[in-house]
Chain A
């Protein structure tokens, strides 16, 4: 199975500042179709996960452009600029390259 390692496990951010979350894959997530199969999700407290980013760098519908993602075939970074109260929760990276789809362990974002 592909292992996704996130860092840090938690981050505390002052509102208005930026935050970055790393996700490292045990295997290249570049598919044979040239798509990088890396996704980012946010799970707010007590809520279902929501998709933020698909195929490494594409913003999902309705997601503010304060969120951005970049990376290589195995190393990825989610950046949140101007953090707001609504950004609090646990961020997960995940892949869909092969079965089983897996997730990282999550990074908890809190406000200072």
Chain B
């Protein structure tokens, strides 16, 4: 059964670094891509970036300078790190397999002092 679950701190202070983990099961990270998508409260969806089956990454150019996506295949985990957080980064962060039919439940991240 394919599952994805995001985890991380609910509250981050401005200018600090966000670290999120997407723990997956039911599929291999070496055969599938994992994407991150975020959604500010009450607003639409924004593609954040992806790590592909071969380990390469692609990022939204608007976030690229602050963003890093990596993985640990032995633990079936994908990591998102974003630095210099601002209030505009407050959002629900989702991870999704192949940007398709399987999504995690999302994790709410609030940037506030």
Contacts and interface: CB of A to CB of B under 8 A. Distances in A.
B74 interface: no
Sorting the interface of chain A by its residue count into under 10, 10 to 19, 20 to 34 or 35 or more gives 20 to 34
Interface residues of B, number: 19
Contacts of B106: 48
B47 A102 contact: yes
Contacts of B96: 48-49
B70 to A, nearest CB: 18
A12 interface: no
19 contacts: A41-B45, A43-B45, A48-B94, A48-B103, A48-B106, A49-B94, A50-B101, A50-B103, A51-B101, A61-B101, A92-B45, A94-B47, A99-B58, A99-B61, A100-B61, A101-B47, A103-B44, A103-B46, A103-B47
Interface in B76-113: 94, 96, 99-101, 103-106
